[in-house]
């Protein structure tokens, strides 16, 4: 269709050329429309800085994903060379120290941000109907995020890593019924050794990240579908029963604002 249009001015022609790839993509996938919907969907007018904590958490996770991929290019998950590869990354590889440092400290930042984000959701009462499911997904993300921390801790294969994991796995074994089973699965035998390291590595960089990415996808889908909650203290909070109570005042004010209806700001 875009091609069939007769070109009018040179400007129009340039525009058509520039937009052609987008039209092509939109016609075949609907992705352009989806992105437009994402960007221009309405959110409550009173959202504030506390509500950036979720996307901040997402950013921290992305930092982990990217630095993790780079570390995986140099790290060897084998007890004989894991420690040496960590030293090599820290001391020899160009900017290796930065990538490793970002991954190491990004983990702490990611976990702190998850707790802060959860605190904001709790204090805003944003877990209430119809967002219960997103709260549950959030709790799962919190648990999986902490497990990422636990499995990643062993990988440098130094004394701290090793002995913290020995005790961590053993504590796990004190659990009833599945405790001892879980411990031996984690260990991959009766001793912490090559199998343990390989297992932790695979869980740390394949199993958990895949699960976390899937859950983040669902989490964001629900955020977009249901919308974010207005701050509870806001005088203009969307869908708030306590503002309804003052409804009698509304008509008068509405009358003043009415002259600029939807058309103006809305896109």
Partner 1 sequence: MSSIEERRRLFAKYKEDVKTRGKPFFPNAMFHDTVMSLVVVSIIIGLAIIWHETANGTTAGLLGKEYDAKADSGTFSFVPRPDWYFYFLFYLLRIFKWPDSVILGTVGVPTICLVLLLAVPFVDKRTERRLSRRPVAIVASILVVISMGVLTWKGATATESLASENVKKVPTWIKRNKLPPAAVPGANLFAQIGCLNCHSYLGTGGGYSGAPDLSAEGSKGKGIAFQIAHLKNPASVNAGSPMPSFATLGDQRLHQLAVFLEASKGGK
Residues forming contacts to ligand HEM in the complex (CB under 6 A) are 51, 53-55, 57-58, 61, 114, 117-118, 121, 124, 126-127, 131, 134-135, 138-139, 141-142, 145, 216, 219, 223, 228-229
Q: Toward ligand HEM, which CB reaches closer, 25 or 65? A: 65
- Among 103, 106, 41, CA closest to 68: 103
Q: What's the closest the beta carbon of residue 43 comes to partner 1, in angstroms?
A: 5
Q: Toward ligand HEM, which CB reaches closer, 130 or 193? A: 130
The answer to whether the beta carbons of residues 197 and 79 sit under 8 Å apart is yes
Cβ-proximal residue to ligand HEM, closest one: 138
Q: What's the closest the beta carbon of residue 2 comes to ligand HEM, in angstroms?
A: 34
The answer to whether the beta carbons of residues 85 and 77 sit under 8 Å apart is no
The answer to whether the beta carbons of residues 92 and 149 sit under 8 Å apart is no
Q: What's the closest the beta carbon of residue 116 comes to ligand HEM, in angstroms?
A: 10
Question: Which 8-state DSSP code applies to residue 249?
Answer: G
Q: What is the 3-state secondary structure (H, E, C) of 178-222?
A: HHHHHHHHHHCCCCCCHHHHHHHHHHHHHHHHHHHHHHHHHHHHH
Residue 185 interacts, among ligand HEM, partner 1, none and using kind-specific CB cut-offs from 5 to 8 Å, with none
Q: Toward ligand HEM, which CB reaches closer, 137 or 169? A: 137
Q: Return the ∠ at Cα 227 (arms to 225 and 229), rounded to 5°.
A: 150
Q: What's the closest the beta carbon of residue 223 comes to ligand HEM, in angstroms?
A: 4
């Amino acid at each position: 269709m875009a091609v069939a249009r007769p070109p009018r001015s040179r400007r129009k022609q340039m525009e058509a050329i520039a937009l052609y790839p987008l039209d092509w993509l939109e016609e075949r996938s609907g992705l352009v429309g989806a992105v437009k919907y994402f960007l221009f969907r309405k959110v409550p007018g009173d959202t504030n800085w506390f509500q950036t904590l979720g996307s901040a958490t997402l950013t921290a996770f992305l930092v982990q994903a990217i630095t993790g991929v780079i570390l995986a290019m140099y790290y060897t998950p084998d007890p004989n060379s894991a420690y040496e590869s960590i030293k090599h990354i820290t001391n020899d590889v160009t900017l290796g120290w930065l990538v490793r440092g970002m991954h190491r400290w990004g983990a702490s930042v990611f976990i702190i941000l998850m707790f802060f984000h959860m605190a904001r959701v709790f204090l805003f009462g944003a877990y209430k109907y119809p967002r219960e499911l997103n709260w549950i997904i959030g709790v799962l993300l919190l648990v999986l995020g902490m497990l990422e921390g636990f499995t990643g801790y062993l990988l440098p294969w130094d004394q701290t890593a090793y002995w913290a994991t020995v005790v961590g796995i053993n504590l796990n074994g004190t659990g009833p019924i599945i405790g001892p089973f879980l411990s031996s699965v984690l260990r991959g035998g009766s001793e912490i050794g090559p199998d343990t390291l390989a297992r932790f590595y695979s869980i740390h960089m394949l199993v958990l990240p895949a699960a976390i990415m899937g859950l983040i996808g669902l989490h964001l889908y629900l955020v977009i579908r249901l919308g974010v909650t207005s701050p509870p203290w806001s005088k203009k909070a969307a869908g708030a029963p306590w503002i309804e109570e003052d409804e009698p005042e509304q008509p008068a004010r509405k009358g003043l604002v009415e002259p600029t209806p939807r058309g103006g700001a809305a896109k």
